A and B are shown apart, each in its own frame.
Chain A
């Protein structure tokens, strides 16, 4: 899994690629919580277009990030979910809990 960060005024986009599984979800969790809790970025976007696989540990990290964002009054926004990520979101019944957009343009405009 790889994570690349793009930052601008008031927001950060984390471009994530590869597999978010038991081996790699701690890396994503650290990056996510770093933006939300440490840097206090008002909007954190996760670009999941190139995520091939996500497991329950990855979902747990997303939920933790969402809770952290609510705690500090920021927003965690997901976009460009791959089929695999979308299915897992549906199985978890989390698709209505997160802010999810089809693409980057819609997400940034939100």
Chain B
């Protein structure tokens, strides 16, 4: 799959309903339109934390801790907090393994912001997480993940991200890979049944 003309590949499309169960099963899709609800600007967002780390697997626990606190700060439900932390961790592991091909000591930046946008016309709040790395350009087709019925080691990381986040976009700009993920903040009363049940 070639990169879209806009340089943006949407891995999980904005959903019609923030109910997570309706987000499941989305496939890697390529978008020619970067004007969707992902297009909030920094002016609309509040910075929570920026982390600069090296591509060292030992650093992942530090990011998990920081992102976990950010999710608590925004009052996500416990299960959602774990899902967001899992998504960031898996995305970072992919950067280390694939973009940096397992090499340690290379730069990664993780930024968390409060997010305000529209979900199908309705004002929606949430958490935006952006990962930046200077690794090799990834072939979006390689980001498909595998079918779950194919029981074998590997290929689950992207599946976890797609299951957990409401919007996921990959882009390549100025020699850097950018993965942008958004999780909507859903009121507790509107929470779906737990995933997998």
Contacts and interface: CB of A to CB of B under 8 A. Distances in A.
A is bound by B: yes
Interface of A: 19, 21-23, 53, 55-57, 59-61, 63-64, 67, 83-84, 87-88, 90-95, 97
Please report whether the interface of chain A is mostly helix, strand, loop or mixed according to DSSP: helix
B60 A90 contact: no
Please report whether the interface of chain B is mostly helix, strand, loop or mixed according to DSSP: helix
A84 B96 CA distance: 23
A88 B87 CA distance: 11
Contacts, number: 72
19 contacts: A21-B93, A22-B93, A53-B89, A55-B157, A56-B93, A56-B155, A56-B156, A59-B153, A61-B153, A63-B151, A63-B152, A87-B79, A87-B194, A87-B195, A87-B196, A91-B163, A91-B195, A93-B149, A93-B196
B197 interface: yes
A56 B160 contact: yes
Given A55-B90, A56-B90, A91-B163, A97 B196 contact: no
B82 interface: yes
Nearest to B78: A83
A8 B138 CA distance: 48
A49 B51 CA distance: 31
